[in-house]
Structure 1
Amino acid sequence: MGSSSRKRPVQRMNSARRQLEIVNAAFDCIAVSGHLSLSTTELAYKVGISQPAIFRHFRSKQQLHRAILEEANLRVIDELKLLISRSEMWSDPANLIQDVVAQMGGSFERSPGVWLTLICQRSIAAEAEMPADEHDGRSHKCAISQLTYTLERLFTAAKDKGQVDDHLDPHDVSNIILSILFGMGQIWLNSERNFDLQHRLDIALKGVLAGYHFLPDQPSGAIPISAIA
C-alpha cells in the first residue's frame, strides 16, 4: 500500500508532462494549419502515442482546446510580465512600447502556433459578440486583454511625458498596434516567412507612434493624411 501511494505523484507528474507534450504538438499543428481544428490522429503521431491515448490525458477535444488556449495565454503573459517588471523602464514609456512590440514579434517568430491560437481565440470571441477575455470566464488569464491594457497604460504615460502626439487615443492605439502585430504575423506566415517580421513591425509602430492629422484644407474623412514626425 505504501509503495503504491509513493508512485502516484510520479504518475501525475508523467501525466502532466505528457499533457504538455500534446499541447506543444498542437501548437506545431496550428502553426501549419492556421486554425484550431486539430486532427487527433496527426497530434498522436507527432507525440508518438496512439490516438486513444490522447483522451486518457484529456477527457474530450473541448478540454484539449481549453488546455491549448490556457497555455498560449500563460506563455505570452509570462513574457509580457518579465519585460515590464523592471520599473526603471517605465521612465521612457515610448521606448518601452517599442520593446514590448519587439518582444511580442520575436515571440510570434519563435512560437507562431501560440500566437495563432490567440488570434483564433479573439475571432471566436468576436463571433460570440463578447470580449476575448470573457469568452472562457478567465479574464485574468487572457493575454490579449493584458497586452491591450499594458499598451494603453504605456501610451497614456508617453502622452503625459509629451513623447507622442496628444491627439491620439490610447485605447485606439493599443488596438491598432495589436492588429498590426496579428496581421503582420499572419502575412509573414502566409509568405513562408520570407521577410523580416521584426523590421516590418518596427516601421509600422513608428508610424503609429508618430501620429497623424488631416491636412487643414480637407474634410475629416478625406485622404491623404500626413504624418507628424
Structure 2
Amino acid sequence: MPNMGSSSRKRPVQRMNSARRQLEIVNAAFDCIAASGHLSLSTTELAYKVGISQPAIFRHFRSKQQLHRAILEEANLRVIDELKLLIGRSEMWSDPINLLQDVIFQMGASFERSPGVWLTLICQRSIAAEAELPMVEASGRGNKCAISQLTYTLERLFSAARDKKQVSDLLKPQDISNIMLSILFGMGQLWLNDERSFDLQQRLGVALEGVLAGYQFLPDQPRSRMQISAIA
C-alpha cells in the first residue's frame, strides 16, 4: 500500500514536467519561426534547440499536427492576455482614439518581443489547415482567436471615437480596424525582412498619425489643395 501511494504522488509531478517540456518546445518553435521568417519547422532543429532528441519531441506531442496546434493555441492565448491587460483599464476608454493608438503601439512592442508568436498569428490559417484545427472567423467573439479579438477591440474603440466626435460619423469601424491591422502586420514583417534595422514603434507612429489625420476631416469641411509645382 505505501508503494502504491508513493507512486500515485509522483504522477502529478511527471505531468507537470511534461507540460513544462511542451512549453519549452513551443517556445523554441517560436524562436525558429522568428529566425527563419517562415513556418516550416524542422523537428531536428527544434530538438537541438531544446536539447533533446528528435524522437523525444513526439513523446510530448503525438504528431506534428498536434505540435502545430499547440503552437497556434499558445500564440493566440499570449496576445489575448496582453490585449486584455491593456483594454481592461476602463479609465482609458474616456479617450478612445488615444487608446486605439495605444493598442497598436503595444501590439507593435509585443511583435518586437515575440516575432515568432506574431508570424504564427499572421499565418495561422495555413497552420490551422495543417493541424486540422477549425479557425474562428473574425467576428470578434471567438474565445481563442487573437486576431478576432484584436479586430473586435479596434472596431469598438473606433465606434467609441465616432460617438465622441473624434472622427467622422461616416467612417466604418470595420474599415479602420482592417487598415490598422494591415499597418501592424505589414510594418512588422517589413521590420523582420529588413533585419530589424529600424525603429518599429516610430514607423508605426508615423503611419498611424497619417491615417488618423486623414480620417479626422469631416465631409462638409473644405480641404485646402496642395500646390504642386513642376521642377524644370
For Structure 1 versus Structure 2, the TM-score category normalised by the shorter chain is 0.7 to 0.9
Aligned to 1:55: 58
Q: Pick the structure with greater CA Rg.
A: 2
Letter in 2 for 1:76: V
Matches within 5 A, 1:189-208: 189-208=192-211
Aligned to 2:175: 172
Deviation at 1:139, TM superposition (A): 2.9
Aligned to 1:35: 38
Matches within 5 A, 1:8-87: 8-87=11-90
Deviation at 1:152, TM superposition (A): 0.1
1:30–1:36 CA contact under 8 A, matched in 2: yes
C-alpha distance in structure 2 between counterparts of 1:122 and 1:104, whole Å: 20
Coordinate RMSD, CA, aligned: 2.3
Which blocks of at least 5 consecutive residues in structure 1 are unaligned? 217-224
Aligned to 1:103: 106
Deviation at 1:124, TM superposition (A): 6.0
C-alpha distance in structure 2 between counterparts of 1:162 and 1:174, whole Å: 18
Aligned to 2:154: 151
Deviation at 1:210, TM superposition (A): 2.0
Per-residue CA deviation, residues 177-227 of structure 1 (Å, 9 max, x unaligned), is 0011000000000000111100111111112222357x99xxxxxxxx98x
Deviation at 1:169, TM superposition (A): 1.1
List structure 1 runs of 4+ shifted beyond 3 angstroms.
122-126
Aligned partner of residue 12 in structure 1, secondary structure:
helix
Letter in 2 for 1:7: K
Distance 1:75 1:145, change over 3 A: same
C-alpha distance in structure 1 between counterparts of 2:5 and 2:127, whole Å: 48
TM-score by length of 2: 0.85
1:165–1:211 CA contact under 8 A, matched in 2: no
Letter in 2 for 1:211: G
Letter in 2 for 1:197: L
1:2 aligns to 2:13 (yes or no): no
C-alpha distance in structure 1 between counterparts of 2:39 and 2:147, whole Å: 17
2:37–2:192 CA contact under 8 A, matched in 1: no
TM-score by length of 1: 0.86
Q: Paired residue for 1:115, among 118, 140, 149?
A: 118
Aligned to 1:220: none
Identity %: 84
C-alpha distance in structure 2 between counterparts of 1:193 and 1:83, whole Å: 25
1:25–1:46 CA contact under 8 A, matched in 2: yes
Per-residue CA deviation, residues 74-108 of structure 1 (Å, 9 max, x unaligned), is 00000000000011111110010011011000000
Aligned partner of residue 133 in structure 1, secondary structure:
coil
Q: Paired residue for 1:184, among 184, 187, 190?
A: 187
Which blocks of at least 5 consecutive residues in structure 2 are unaligned? 227-232
